[in-house]
Structure formats: structure tokens, C-alpha cells
Amino acid sequence: MIKPPGRPDRMRRLSKAELADIDARLRQWQSFDEIDAVLKAVRETTGFYAVGQGGLKIWREAFVAVSCALQTHARRIRLGGDPPDFELDYGDHVRAFELVDVFPVGRRLGREYDTFADLWNNSQGIPLEHVDMEAELEALPADLEAQLQAKAAKGYSPSPILVADIHHAIFPQSDIGDLSRLAGIARRYLTHFPEVWLRMSRNLVRVSPFGETRIHGAHDAGGD
């Protein structure tokens, strides 16, 4: 089996001491290069377990934080006290963010990636699963609405920017109608959050009282 770059020959979970050290580092203000080095080190040790291990929720939050920082030109990043999940320093101001995952019904990302890691460690191939992309796209508005409702019900004070991280197999890259529909759903929650950001991989849509801004771009955090 060919070893992809950035993945260990054998993936492992981190110890409690290692998790505590990573947690302490990620909760301090860091530049992009500093926090990216932490993310790379974790990925190169844990591989797929970086997504599945419970104590590495901080790694996943930092991954999203770095992506948002790159795409909006923040200078520094740190994880917060939940709430907020993370903060970005733009030089003349700091903004707080809360993260919510938007999954298709029934999908459990941690379970999937734990299975991938176990297969990898046993030199078995990772199977490709058929995904009904049309069904996922149809379900996406309702899945998004459910997660935004749940976050709004928590009544955050002060209110952070909400980042909805979308894990559906398909995202409306070019269909303006579908994208506008998702932005319209997010817009209804601007009474609870100053902005709602819709994120999937390298796509970011910022929904604010002034309209929607679509940002493409930055490379994945913790990448090569």
C-alpha cells in the first residue's frame, strides 16, 4: 500500500499527556505558521484518528479556525473556552467564533475515520462508498436549519460569529439558486449571531446584515 504524504506508517491515538500539551498550545495566541505546525505534527502521528479521537476535538476546531483565518486574512489564532470555540486576531480587533458541524442524517464522522485508521493499520484498503449526492443536496437545507436552530437556542452572550461546517458530499459550487437558498436560511439567524459563515472545504460564504460574500481559496490547514 502506497503511503500518502503526511500520514504515518501506523496511525495511533494520542495519550492524555500529549492531548493536554496540544490543548495548552492551541489556547495561546499563535501565528498561522505556529498553529499549522501543531496541526501537521498531530496529523503525522495520528492520521485518521485526528478526526475520531474524542480528545482531539480541539484539533478539528483549530483546523477550521486556520482555514477561516487564511481566507479572511487574520493575523493570529487561538482556541477559546467554548464558548467561543476560537478567536481570530485581525490586528485592530478580535472576533469570536462558535463552530457547528452540519452532517447528513445518520453520518458520524468520528466513527468513519476510526474505521479508516483501523483498516490502514491492518494494511487493508479503504473502501469507496456510494453517496447519493442528489439526496444529500436536497437534505442540506433542512440539515443546516436544524443545526442553526440548535445553536440559536443556546442564547450566547456575547454573541459570536457562527461557522457552520458542512460535511455533505456535495456543496452548491456554482448553482446560484441553491447557494442563495442556504444563505437565506443563514440570514434568518442574524438576530442571534452578528454573522453566519457557511464553510465546506475551501469554500466560505459569509452572511452578514450587509449581504453575502463568497470566498474561495486557501489551502487546507495542516497540509503540505
What are the 10-residue block averages of pLDDT along the chain, 224 residues in total? 53 87 94 92 80 76 92 95 94 97 72 56 56 75 96 96 86 62 95 95 89 72 51
11 lies in some domain: no
Q: Which pLDDT score, from 0 to 100, does residue 98 have?
A: 97
Percentage with pLDDT > 70 across the chain: 74
Q: What is the pLDDT of residue 214?
A: 87
Q: How many domains does the chain have?
A: 1
What is the model's pLDDT at position 173?
Answer: 54
In a domain, 221, yes or no: no
Are 56 and 48 spatial neighbours (Cβ–Cβ below 8 Å)? no
In total, the chain counts a number of residues equal to 224
- pLDDT at 117 (0 to 100): 55
Residue 10 lies in a domain: no
Residue 23 within any structural domain of the chain: yes
Closest CA to 204 of 27, 14, 73: 73
Domain assignment of residue 7, yes or no: no
Q: Quickly list H helices, the chain.
A: 16-26, 32-46, 49-52, 57-72, 109-121, 133-152, 176-187
